[in-house]
């Protein structure tokens, strides 16, 4: 088999993965990597088709009967699993079939667009409070001081997380999401395990409190479901809260940072957005397409099949490069141009089909608020560094920091 050049954990790739994606889309759009133990896909059309294909799934578990699965979860091996493996296996993103539909139904009531729109006012208030202290300083790290604070506060308020423990969320979440990357070390695993264990204890305690004394928050709604048919069990509840807390800010922070850098590198687009604030919706979609914060998700092959001349066997893993699909010239005109007026813009930054991001309306609302607020209160935003650095990663794409200065 022909060797394919693909080094996604190199600094060069982190700085700019798009020329590599373009080459692979042209020359090897589907290839098996021995190093990663999976087959990568780079073209939009292939990825879109595969996301809707029922012969693929996020887990092999739902091939088991309901009874076999119950037995598996009740087994001593299951309860002895490390915390990370135990919770990650029952979260929404890692479930399929009936379990997935049941949990998604429950959760989508809380995250549906109409409900989320009601948060607009709260988002604006949090953002304005932040900006009132940040703007006079005339410089900040856009990520740590601004883009990260809003999503963390919002998701923790939504869940009903205590204010005094909010500072623990970001370090826990960063430690846990490291394990999504293939190049994590034994030390990363140990840290993620500790973070998951601490996180789980805290969610469990909160759930117990809310069971006795319910409030208007998401943990209360989820814990109330425990006693009804089709409700969550305690492991699922912990896993769901953890997924929301991780998904709820990790991707949003990186989307904001990557989007801000795109604006800075395209001053005419930044000027256009200042002139035409009504373009914020399409601008945010273009930021998500142009430099997506999540580049790859995997699927397992649930039954043997052929695809574009390649054979796949049950149990194989595939890697879908949403980040490459979003620059596919077969779908997007001038895909490497950053055009805040792009229409249509059917990017895959939020995935598609069964696992389409449940938090997409909330994430978009937050991103629009972050950018509209900052642009309205500043002039001449500039980078305070020559070359902002990206973390290396195949799954997550985000900057280490983004120091900015401006005039008012």
Taking Cα atoms as reference points, which of 363, 388, 357 lies closest to residue 263? 388
Min CB(156)–ligand HEM separation in Å: 11
Q: Are 407 and 333 in contact (CB under 8 A)?
A: no
Q: Which of 251, 287, 369, 375 binds ligand HEM (CB under 6 A)?
A: 251
Q: Is 350 in the site for ligand HEM (CB under 6 A)?
A: yes
Residues 270-329 that bind ligand HEM (CB under 6 A): 293-294, 297
Q: Is 357 in the site for ligand HEM (CB under 6 A)?
A: yes
- Token couple for 223: 């814990």
What residues contact 397, with CB distance under 8 A and at least 6 apart?
17, 254, 258, 291, 292, 293, 294, 295, 323, 390, 391
Cβ closer to ligand HEM: 94 or 145? 94
Q: Are 220 and 160 in contact (CB under 8 A)?
A: yes
Min CB(309)–ligand HEM separation in Å: 24
Min CB(335)–ligand HEM separation in Å: 18
Q: How far is Cα 371 from Cα 376, in angstroms, rounded to an integer?
A: 8
Query: Which helix (H) or strand (E) element contains residue 394?
Result: none
Q: Which of 169, 179, 255, 262 binds ligand HEM (CB under 6 A)?
A: 255
Q: Which of 38, 47, 93, 140 binds ligand HEM (CB under 6 A)?
A: 93
Helix and strand numbers (H, E) in the chain are 18, 10
Using CB positions, name the residue nearest to ligand HEM: 359
Min CB(398)–ligand HEM separation in Å: 11
Residues 139-158 that bind ligand HEM (CB under 6 A): 155
Q: Is 317 helix (H, G, I), strand (E, B) or coil?
A: strand
Taking Cα atoms as reference points, which of 133, 130, 174 lies closest to residue 153? 130
Min CB(240)–ligand HEM separation in Å: 8
Cβ closer to ligand HEM: 176 or 349? 349
Q: Which of 59, 156, 220, 252 binds ligand HEM (CB under 6 A)?
A: 252
Cβ closer to ligand HEM: 8 or 359? 359
Q: Is 90 in the site for ligand HEM (CB under 6 A)?
A: no
Q: How far is Cα 323 from Cα 394, in angstroms, rounded to an integer?
A: 9
CA dihedral (330, 26, 335, 262) in degrees, to 10, reads: 150
Residues 228-247 that bind ligand HEM (CB under 6 A): 243-244, 247
- Token couple for 385: 């560094």
For 79, 173, 210, 307, the CA distances from 73, given in Å and listed in that order, are 8, 25, 25, 34
Q: How far is Cα 122 from Cα 131, in angstroms, rounded to an integer?
A: 14
Residue count, binding to ligand HEM (CB under 6 A): 23
Cβ closer to ligand HEM: 14 or 362? 362
Cβ closer to ligand HEM: 130 or 243? 243
Cβ closer to ligand HEM: 119 or 131? 119
- Return residues touching ligand HEM (CB under 6 A): 92-93, 104, 155, 243-244, 247-248, 251-252, 255, 293-294, 297, 349-351, 355, 357-359, 362-363
């Amino acid at each position: 088999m022909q060797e394919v050049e693909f080094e996604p954990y190199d600094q060069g790739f982190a700085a700019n993965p798009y020329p590599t994606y373009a080459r692979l889309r042209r020359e090897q759009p589907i290839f098996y990597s021995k190093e990663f133990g999976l087959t990568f896909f780079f073209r939009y059309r292939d990825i879109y088709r595969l996301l809707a294909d029922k012969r693929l799934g996020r887990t092999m578990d739902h091939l088991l009967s309901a009874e076999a699965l119950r037995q598996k979860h009740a087994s001593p091996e299951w309860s002895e699993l490390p915390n990370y493996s135990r919770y990650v296996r029952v979260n929404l993103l890692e479930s399929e079939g009936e379990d997935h539909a049941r949990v998604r139904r429950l959760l989508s009531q809380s995250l549906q667009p109409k409900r989320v729109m009601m948060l607009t006012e709260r988002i604006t208030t949090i953002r304005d409070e932040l900006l009132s202290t940040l703007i006079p300083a005339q410089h900040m790290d856009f990520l740590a001081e601004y883009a990260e604070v809003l999503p963390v506060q919002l998701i923790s308020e939504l869940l009903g997380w205590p204010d005094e423990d909010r500072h623990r969320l970001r370090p826990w979440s960063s430690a846990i999401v490291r394990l999504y990357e293939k190049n994590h070390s034994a030390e990363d695993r140990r840290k993620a395990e500790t973070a998951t264990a601490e996180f789980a204890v805290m969610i469990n305690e909160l759930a117990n409190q809310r069971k006795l004394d319910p409030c208007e928050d998401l943990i209360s709604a989820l814990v109330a479901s425990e006693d009804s048919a089709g409700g969550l069990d305690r492991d699922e509840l912990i896993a769901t809260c953890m997924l929301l807390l991780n998904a709820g800010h990790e991707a949003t922070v990186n989307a904001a940072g990557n989007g801000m850098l795109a604006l800075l590198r395209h001053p005419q687009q930044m000027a256009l957005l200042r002139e035409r604030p009504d373009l914020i919706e399409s601008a945010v979609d273009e930021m998500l397409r142009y430099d997506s914060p999540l580049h790859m998700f995997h699927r397992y092959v649930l039954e043997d099949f052929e695809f574009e001349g390649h054979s796949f066997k049950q149990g194989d893993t595939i890697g879908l490069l949403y980040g490459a699909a979003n620059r596919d010239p077969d779908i997007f005109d001038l895909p490497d141009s950053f055009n805040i007026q792009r229409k249509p813009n059917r990017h895959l930054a939020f995935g598609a089909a069964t696992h389409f991001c449940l938090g997409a309306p909330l994430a978009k609302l937050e991103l629009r608020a972050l950018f509209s607020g900052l642009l309205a209160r500043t002039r001449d935003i500039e980078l305070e560094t020559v070359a902002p650095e990206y973390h290396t990663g195949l799954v997550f794409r985000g900057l280490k920091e983004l120091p900015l200065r401006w005039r008012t």
